Amino acid sequence: MDQSPLLAGGSQKSCEPVIPPQTGEALAMIIITRPDATEEQIGHIVSRIRDWGLKAEVSRGEMRVVIGVIGPEDKIREKPLGVFPGVESVTPVLKPYKLVSYEFRGTSSKVKIGDVVLGNKDVVIMAGPCSVENEGQITTIANSIRKAGARILRGGAFKPRTSPYSFQGLGKVGLQLLAEARKESGLPIITEVMDTKDLDLVCEYADCLQVGARNMQNFSLLREVGRTRLPVMLKRGMAASIKDLLMSAEYILSEGNFNVLLCERGIRTFETMTRNTLDLNAVPVLKSETHLPIVVDPTHGIGIRQFVPAMALAAVAAGADSIMVEVHNAPELAKSDGEQSLLPAEFVDLVGRIRAVAEAVGRAV
């Protein structure tokens, strides 16, 4: 085989594209069944669609079942989806995002991280340090946030830092420390994967993968996390529109992984008094556009410890399914984001106030 001179003596990596070229556009159709449709009729529709080589995703609402169908446009258009007994309507999804769109499921999705379910009436609180630093630090914080009411532990082992000279995270050791903190506290863990080369390793430890703001449009990473079946929290890029976020999530779902959470974490604006501008507009907009649960990270959103609680409460009032906040037992010693991390006592106080706001808007903690 001829070898490119550029590769000679160097990397043996194949230049074959991972993704086969796609010839046509994909089309998604929504089949809504009649309230009196039988299980047999629904099963028949789904198996026929799959026999045709199309993908079918079944979602059960209280009255009706929604079958989302996706496949190449030319193929889908020639199929008589409306003729099956039990079908009430067939409509195309006209938005550019298909699998993530609310109508594709017709109901909100739930995502399970360990034993914790997001997307229910209760607001799930995730907390922990920006970075995992050492065993004492992560275990102490894990125990204190669990006692306060957090249900998921966060902590970065691979850190996306603006400067290459800043602390980059403990890597594998950080993951091992997180696993120990999970054992000690009983909390499932969420941690960032920055690079496809680390994905297998991170998957060995994480209960939920985090794709950070800076990687929101790293499409090869999105496809790879889409091939796993672990839950993925996709953070909004700091210069990304809500639509960009939805399109990025579509990459993950298009690989078959529907266990996705979207996270609003602040965007860049002309404002300089705060680190970012937490775009709470995104919460009700996303809740109406997508079935995926929505997380808000007020910590990176505002970037100043003193103001984090107010934005966390506002996010709950706006309808977030989950809140992620950074907590550190000695923020003055933190290797990253100490200035925006809550002290454990401030976190205890915040959880009580989140509970009060959640109850006021018909939710719980």
Q: Minimum distance from CB of 326 to ligand PEP (Å)?
A: 7
Q: Which does 235 bind (CB under 5 to 8 A by kind): Mn ion, ligand PEP, none?
A: ligand PEP
Look up residue 342 and give its two tokens.
């809550």
Q: For the window 245-284, what string marks contact with ligand PEP as x by the rule CB under 6 A?
A: --------------------x-------------------
Which residues make beta-bridge pairs with 17?
none
Q: For the window 315-354, what string marks contact with Mn ion as x by the rule CB under 5 A?
A: ----------------------x-----------------
Q: For the window 115-154, what string marks contact with ligand PEP as x by the rule CB under 6 A?
A: ---------------x------------------------
Amino acid at the residue 266: G
Q: What is the DSSP letter of 288?
A: H
CB atoms within 10 A of CB 247: 19
* Closer Cβ to ligand PEP, 93 or 260, answer by number: 260
d(CA 320, CA 67) in angstroms, rounded, equals 26
* Closer Cβ to ligand PEP, 213 or 350, answer by number: 213
Look up residue 308 and give its two tokens.
């984090």
Q: Minimum distance from CB of 300 to ligand PEP (Å)?
A: 5
User: Per CB under 6 A, which region of 61-69, 110-118, 134-142, 209-217 contacts ligand PEP?
Assistant: 209-217
* Closer Cβ to Mn ion, 202 or 358, answer by number: 202
Cα distances (Å, whole numbers) of residue 304 to 131, 189, 247, 280, 307: 17, 24, 30, 17, 6
Look up residue 320 and give its two tokens.
């977030």
Look up residue 168 and give its two tokens.
């980059």
Distance from CA of residue 205 to its chain's centroid?
Answer: 17
Q: Which does 303 bind (CB under 5 to 8 A by kind): Mn ion, ligand PEP, none?
A: none
186 near ligand PEP, rule: CB under 6 A: no
Dihedrals φ, ψ of 17, to 5°? -65, 145
User: Per CB under 6 A, which region of 115-123, 211-219, 246-254, 279-287 contacts ligand PEP?
Assistant: 211-219
User: Per CB under 6 A, which region of 31-39, 119-127, 212-220, 283-291 contacts ligand PEP?
Assistant: 212-220
* Closer Cβ to ligand PEP, 54 or 193, answer by number: 193
Q: Which of 68, 156, 169, 298 binds ligand PEP (CB under 6 A)?
A: 156
Q: Where are the alpha helices (DSSP H) in 108-257?
A: 135-148, 172-185, 199-205, 219-227, 242-254
Cα distances (Å, whole numbers) of residue 90 to 43, 53, 104, 225: 17, 18, 11, 31
* Closer Cβ to ligand PEP, 71 or 331, answer by number: 331
DSSP run (H or E) holding 262 = strand 260-264
Strands (E), 77-223: 87-92, 111-113, 116-118, 124-128, 152-154, 189-192, 208-211
Binders in 118-137 for Mn ion, by CB under 5 A: 130
d(CA 267, CA 282) in angstroms, rounded, equals 11
Q: Which residues are near Mn ion by CB under 5 A? A: 130, 337
Q: Which residues are near ligand PEP by CB under 6 A? A: 130, 156, 160, 212-214, 235, 265, 300
